[in-house]
Amino acid sequence: MNDKPDPPTRRHATLKDVAEACGLSVATVSRYLNRSIKLPPATIGRIDAAIAALNYQPNQHARSLSLGRSETIGLVVPDISNPYFAHLAASVEQAASEFGLGLVLCPTLSRTDREIDYLGRLARRHVDGLLFATNNGDDPALGRALQGTSTVVLVDDDIIGARAPTIMADSDQGGFLAARHLIEMGHRRLGYVGGPAGLSSSRGRLGGFRRAVAASERPVTIAAEIQGPYSSEHGRLAAGQILALDPVPSAVFAASDEIVLGLLSVFKQRGVRVGIDISVVAFDDVGPLQLFDPPLTAIRQPVERLGRRAVEMVLDLIKGEMREPVSEVLPVELIIRESVKPPRS
Amino acid sequence: MNDKPDPPTRRHATLKDVAEACGLSVATVSRYLNRSIKLPPATIGRIDAAIAALNYQPNQHARSLSLGRSETIGLVVPDISNPYFAHLAASVEQAASEFGLGLVLCPTLSRTDREIDYLGRLARRHVDGLLFATNNGDDPALGRALQGTSTVVLVDDDIIGARAPTIMADSDQGGFLAARHLIEMGHRRLGYVGGPAGLSSSRGRLGGFRRAVAASERPVTIAAEIQGPYSSEHGRLAAGQILALDPVPSAVFAASDEIVLGLLSVFKQRGVRVGIDISVVAFDDVGPLQLFDPPLTAIRQPVERLGRRAVEMVLDLIKGEMREPVSEVLPVELIIRESVKPPRS
DNA sequence: CTGAAAGCGCTTACAG
DNA sequence: CTGAAAGCGCTTACAG
């Protein structure tokens, strides 16, 4: 009888332990685990028993080192506490886990240096691919850093100078639907509060907005086009400018949830009643906009589909199945609630 | 002259390449990179130049395998698209990156099997430690799975049967402050809509709530104690039950942001005016509660501090500096806005 | 101070 | 079909 206890310091069973326990070589066990081999049922039973008995867990680092890949992707986002990116992260995670991919989150605080750092992480093979959402798409340094990469897909916005596949919502159509809705409801003097002038998502929303105004049979004017960061602070500032206009526009479009939050907080504090004194259309529609005062009409981004499709695209890239970078655009939707009413007077 | 081009297939420079390029051994370069050596300035210059020229990036998998640790921690959460956990993730990420730790996100959809899976990831040394937030703390299987682990800190809620350090908000105090505020505002008939009966966070909130009621000099009754998941769906169901009461309580406390969202949507659709027909206090205060109709009075959780402290604790654990599992409680705060008014009549 | 060498735990081409 | 062995790219105790 062999009563020698296992050395108590051994923390984790290795493949070697499993192989010894069932009288096989590590090669065979490894092949079995990677399904690249057929074994008699009896052997399978022995291996499974040994794995269970030793509570064997493969060491991912060893595996990744040997394989040269990690079966993990990264999601680069400006700020995970922003509901839009939080929802994007949730949908990406869901899709990634269905494909057996791990996900690591890479929040950048919108700092280009951190964004470039994460590209380095890709180079270091920490991850096999990157889903890249940024608000710095107009920074040439970022575009340059993207040049050398091959498994990056751009999500939600473009980066100038980057030749990478992209997946985004139809910003142009979103801007168009927003303006058309406002015009149909009788508004003739509109305010536009958008994102950064250099961003393609922002340009798209403004372009669509103008397009609907130009297409209107009635004379419609855009009383203000205020661009800035996709932030509530920018929304607050813009609200002040909008309210200082004479006359004040009867309706405003805010190009993101964050912006509309800022807008609303100033309106509220100044006693400007949404839907009565001023109509509002928002963009994104990931927050609880239906619970606001009044429930907010908004252009909804297809966040779920965006995340899933991004994962599929990066997988194609990793597998080398995408020859030329493709660019996909997903439709948006106008959700009518109660923040747009015909103008007074 | 040596004009031989580099083999074009070589994808990444390794430590060996760097060492060769500057006429040193890999050992020396490695030591330099890990700051465990002092080198003459000239040598440092040579190494740095070679690293830059070759664009050398250390391979993390090799490093982790060799070191036996990954300098990465995991954050296990039920749902990253829930603003509470999204904010928690943001604060954890911030703190982790300050300590030079990577963060991987582990969303569980509240499924115990996935939670246990992530514990396995820890065992596989994929991460050095885990920050664990769960709504399944009453599941004995989870408690059992936690037994074998040594570098897990429980965040935001307890797990029965687990002997792990914990960091949470003061739920009891939160429930107490909520009820006391309601009582001070003149309410005598209260509704309580809480989380799962088995969870310590939930029990704490209810306990504090009852304690304030018991401490009241005036007779106060809790007309309903409705427990269920921390979800908006549960909030919607509970709203129906609350409104079916006769008489309807003049005020209700909702033990999470999600629950209050559900409550509000039913109130809105039934024409029950918050602050007029019924007063409301929420819990968490991470969403844009100040923009709701009316702005919501709430107990605010110290999410930032929670995240940071959790990271510090797991680091202590990893470094072996925590002998006995400690348990910390962070204070909450009552944020008075406009959803609590004296009862009518 | 510096380097040659072993070792971390896998995978897989190569040989029997 | 199966195994011995090389290799992935690091770190570090050990020797000079």
Whether A124 and B60 lie within 8 Å, measured CB to CB: yes
Whether B61 and A81 lie within 8 Å, measured CB to CB: no
Nucleic strand C within 7 A of Cβ A55: no
Provide residues 66-125 of B with CB closer than 7 Å to any strand C atom.
Answer: 66, 68
Nucleic strand D within 7 A of Cβ A38: yes
Nucleic strand C within 7 A of Cβ B28: yes
For the stretch B269-306, pLDDT in tens is 899 999 999 999 999 999 889 888 789 999 999 999 99
Secondary structure element (H or E) that encloses residue A73, with its range: strand A72-77
Which of A58, A80, A121 lies at the smallest CB-CB distance from B86?
A80
For the stretch A213-256, pLDDT in tens is 999 999 999 999 999 999 999 999 999 999 999 999 999 999 99
- Across the beta sheet with A333-335, the strand order is A221-227, A189-194, A251-254, A279-284, A297-300, A333-335
Report whether the peptide linkage leading into residue B247 is cis, meaning its omega lies within 30 degrees of zero.
yes
CA atoms within 13 A of residue B50's CA, in its CB half-sphere: 21
Helices of type H across chain A: 15-21, 26-33, 41-54, 60-67, 83-98, 112-123, 140-147, 171-184, 200-215, 232-244, 257-269, 303-318
Provide the pLDDT for residue A39: 81
- Across the beta sheet with B166-169, the strand order is B102-107, B72-77, B129-132, B152-155, B166-169, B327-330
In terms of Cβ atoms closer than 10 Å to its own Cβ (0-12, 13-18, 19+), residue B65 is buried
CA at B34, C1' at D6: how many angstroms apart? 28
Substitution target in A10, A14, A60, A61 with the highest count of B β-carbons within 10 Å is A61
Nucleic strand C within 7 A of Cβ A58: yes
Residue with CA nearest C1' of nucleotide C13: A27
Q: How far is B75 from chain A (nearest CA, A)?
A: 10
Provide the pLDDT for residue B7: 35
B57 interfaces chain A, CB cutoff of 8 Å:
yes
Closest residue, chain A, to B13 (C-alpha): A124
For the stretch A69-78, pLDDT in tens is 899 999 999 9
CA distance B24 to B6: 20
B81 interfaces chain A, CB cutoff of 8 Å:
yes
Provide the pLDDT for residue A8: 35
A70 interfaces chain B, CB cutoff of 8 Å:
yes
Whether A124 and B58 lie within 8 Å, measured CB to CB: yes
In terms of Cβ atoms closer than 10 Å to its own Cβ (0-12, 13-18, 19+), residue B312 is middle
Query: A120: helix, coil or strand?
Result: helix
A229 interfaces chain B, CB cutoff of 8 Å:
no
pLDDT (average), residues B118-146 = 90
CA distance A184 to A334: 13
Whether B62 and A65 lie within 8 Å, measured CB to CB: yes
- Whether A197 contacts A163, CB under 8 Å: no
Task: State residue A259 phi and psi, 5-degree precision.
Answer: -60, -45
Please name each of the domains of chain A with its CATH number: 15-58 (no CATH), 69-168+303-330 (3.40.50.2300), 171-301 (3.40.50.2300)
Exposure string of B102-138, with b = 16+ CB inside 10 Å and e = fewer, is: bbbbbbbebeeeebbebbebbbbbbbbbbbbbbbbbb
Substitution target in B11, B60, B285 with the highest count of A β-carbons within 10 Å is B60
Q: What is the DSSP letter of A248?
A: P
pLDDT tens sequence for chain A (345 residues):
333 333 333 467 888 888 888 888 888 888 888 876 788 888 888 888 888 888 888 888 899 999 988 999 999 999 998 999 999 999 999 999 999 898 888 889 899 999 998 888 887 778 999 999 999 999 999 999 998 888 999 999 999 999 999 999 999 999 999 999 999 999 999 999 999 999 999 999 999 999 999 999 999 999 999 999 999 999 999 999 999 999 999 999 999 999 999 999 999 889 999 999 999 999 999 988 988 878 999 999 999 999 999 999 999 999 888 888 999 999 999 999 999 999 986
Closest residue, chain A, to B87 (C-alpha): A81
Nucleotide closest to residue B66 (CA–C1'): C8
CA distance A165 to A329: 11
Q: For residue A330, count other CB atoms closer than 10 A to its CB.
A: 16
Q: For residue A14, count other CB atoms closer than 10 A to its CB.
A: 16
Confidence of residue B11 (pLDDT cuts 50, 70, 90): low
- Read out DSSP for B34-62? TT-S---HHHHHHHHHHHHHHT----HHH
Q: For residue B9, count other CB atoms closer than 10 A to its CB.
A: 5
Report whether the peptide linkage leading into residue B325 is cis, meaning its omega lies within 30 degrees of zero.
no
Sign of torsion over alpha carbons A144, B99, B320, B104: negative
Q: Identify all chain A residues contacting B79, using CB atoms and an 8 Å cutoff.
A: 90
Q: How far is A344 from chain B (nearest CA, A)?
A: 22
Type of residue at A113 = D
Substitution target in A9, A15, A60, A268 with the highest count of B β-carbons within 10 Å is A60
Which of B80, B102, B293 lies at the smallest CB-CB distance from A292?
B293
